Amino acid sequence: MRQATIERNTKETRIRVTVNLDGSGAYAIDSGIGFLDHMLEQLSRHSLVDLDLKAHGDLHIDAHHTTEDSGIAIGQAIDRALGERLGIARYGSALIPMDETLTRVAIDLSNRPYLVWKVPFSRDKLGTMDTELFKEWFHAFAQAAGATLHVETLYGDNNHHIVESCFKGLARALREAVAIDSRKADAVPSTKGTLGGSL
């Protein structure tokens, strides 16, 4: 099974993450940041990737390190679970409506990390969490997972809906991209024969 566990321990955070790419969307998440937990639950539920995360961070300072490092750890776990990326669909995309908000997410599990982030906010915080930290999470995730990731909110007013549509969009795109294509289950999905490196 395509599973992996990552432990990331620094002077700022201690994080343990387990993922199962062939799961059912089961999750147990405790980052110490309520809103981030809610978003990661959405990521697991809608991707069908089982996600177990426990984080202890320097929240007495702010949520930055815990947010960024959770993105790194989840991305690393997904990267490890993908192994050589044999047979994966590689690409995935989603268009997620959430009331007045519409967000588009596209992912390429190319092993060439890149983030395009076009997500405007009209508030500085959601709960106790700075809205600028969501870009940090997506950037950390893309870098660690080896993903080219494009996230764009086409329109929307409610900041909660905007963020949640981004995570749900990533979930649905990831669900497509990690799926195994039985017609090429033993092959790397690239004419180069490998993923990563130059175009």
Give the other-Cβ count within 10 Å of 138's Cβ.
23
Q: Model confidence over 121-168: pLDDT tens digits? A: 999 999 889 999 999 999 999 999 999 999 999 999 999 999 999 999
Q: Model confidence over 163-192: pLDDT tens digits? A: 999 999 999 999 999 999 888 767 666 556
User: Given pLDDT bands bounded at 50, 70 and 90, which one contains residue 64?
Assistant: very high
User: Does the residue 197 lie in any domain?
Assistant: no
Rounded Cα distance, 138 and 14, in Å: 19
User: Does the residue 189 lie in any domain?
Assistant: no
Cross-strand bridge partners of residue 102: 97, 155
User: Given pLDDT bands bounded at 50, 70 and 90, which one contains residue 197?
Assistant: low
Residue 156 in tokens? 């929307």
CATH number of the domain within which 39 lies: 3.30.230.40
User: Does the residue 134 lie in any domain?
Assistant: yes
- Looking at residue 184, what is its pLDDT? 78
User: Does the residue 196 lie in any domain?
Assistant: no
- Looking at residue 186, what is its pLDDT? 76
Mean pLDDT in residue range 27-52: 97
- Looking at residue 190, what is its pLDDT? 59
Buried b (16+ CB within 10 A) or exposed e, 52-77: bbebebebeeebbbbbbbbbbbbbbb
Rounded Cα distance, 6 and 53, in Å: 10
- Looking at residue 181, what is its pLDDT? 87
Range of the domain at 33: 3-184
Rounded Cα distance, 1 and 3, in Å: 6
Parallel, antiparallel, or unpaired: how do β-strands 27-30 and 50-57 relate?
parallel
Inter-residue contact 138 to 115 (CB < 8 Å): yes
User: Does the residue 191 lie in any domain?
Assistant: no
- Looking at residue 199, what is its pLDDT? 43
Secondary structure (3-state) at 111: coil
- Looking at residue 183, what is its pLDDT? 81
User: Structurally, how many domains does the chain consist of?
Assistant: 1
Rounded Cα distance, 103 and 116, in Å: 13
User: Does the residue 198 lie in any domain?
Assistant: no
User: Given pLDDT bands bounded at 50, 70 and 90, which one contains residue 193?
Assistant: low
- Looking at residue 99, what is its pLDDT? 98
Q: Model confidence over 71-84: pLDDT tens digits? A: 999 999 999 999 99
User: Does the residue 194 lie in any domain?
Assistant: no
The secondary structure of the chain in percent helix, strand, coil, rounded to multiples of 5, reads 35, 30, 35
Rounded Cα distance, 72 and 76, in Å: 6
Rounded Cα distance, 44 and 29, in Å: 10
